[in-house]
Amino acid sequence: MARIVRVGTRGSALAMRQAEEVTTALKKIHTSVTTEIRIVETLGDRRTSVPIEMIPGSGRFTRTLEERLVEGCIDLAVHSAKDLPWKLLEGLTIGAIPAREDPRDALISTGGNGIDKLPQACRIGTGSPRRVAQLLRHRKDLIPVPLRGNLDTRLRRLEYGEMDAIIVGMAGLIRMGWESVVGEIMDPVVMMPAAGQGALIVEARERDEEILELIRPLDHEDSHVTVEAERSVLSYLEAGCGLPIGVLALAEDSTVVLRGTLLSSDGSLFSSAQVSGRKHDGARLGKKLAKRLLRKGGKGIVEAWTKESRE
């Protein structure tokens, strides 16, 4: 008898594409498995007119999915790794991290220019405090414009002339087949990605051994190692989505190099650091990087952000 696996996902075109990517891979490995995609609307999906950092609580795009997973309404949930908080809902675990797509950010502009060739006082759409802070650090003349919504919605707003350029994740454009619109794939030195950006996380109940066994072959070793290292930085700092922090790990042979950038909201304060170590020691590396960021000026940034977020 075929096993039916209920897969939870958000309902955007990109989220559906990501869920289909996982289900297709799962069915190739297990030919007796049948999948059923179930759309779950999250708090972040419902409150699209509010800046993401103004929505209370964590997991704006993932918590409802996690709740449905705990309740048994779905068997696994597919998340964009960057959206999943460092602390999972009790009883859940990361079952697999498939091969990661390009983690970098992409700039799309009406004139096709890169960041350094944009006109003075150019309006750039982004809903990310991380991107805003790094933009202002690189060019103080740029004008960040609040931008939320699905990827296709963001592209339409650019097309309609509401802004001069937007910044989005390169991975989403690749998954949707829209790479041709990219003006510049941004150097992480200028625009450090969010922790986990470009990767998917397949989350399951930690005691559901049958599902965990089914999805284990989806796991990609280097992607798991790098995402784990990046998420461990957030865990040590207890960072929420409003903290302007970028983290990127690269695995090569038996080594991982982990870089991070921590900024004030306007980019005027800045802490940057790099660590390296053994490939399977991601949690320790993340803690080491977080401590180094704090020592190099990040402590004051985190304290100010914590105070602001509580007011």
Is the sign of the CA dihedral 144, 147, 153, 157 positive or negative?
negative
> How do beta strands 76-80 and 3-9 pair?
parallel
For residues 58 and 86, the answer to whether their CB atoms sit within 8 Å is no
- Six-digit token pair at 139? 């060019």
Half-sphere exposure of 89 (CA within 13 A, CB side): 20
User: In degrees rounded to 5, what are phi and psi of residue 106?
Assistant: -125, 140
Helix intervals (H) in the chain = 13-29, 43-46, 63-71, 129-138, 151-159, 170-176, 209-215, 221-237, 282-293, 299-310
- Among 45, 83, 105, 208, the one annotated catalytic: 83
- Please name the helix (run of DSSP H) or strand (run of DSSP E) that holds residue 106, with its range, or none: strand 105-109
The CA-based dihedral angle spanning residues 108, 114, 117, 123, taken in that order and rounded to the nearest 10 degrees:
30
- Six-digit token pair at 83? 């959206």
83 labelled catalytic: yes
Please list the active-site residues.
83
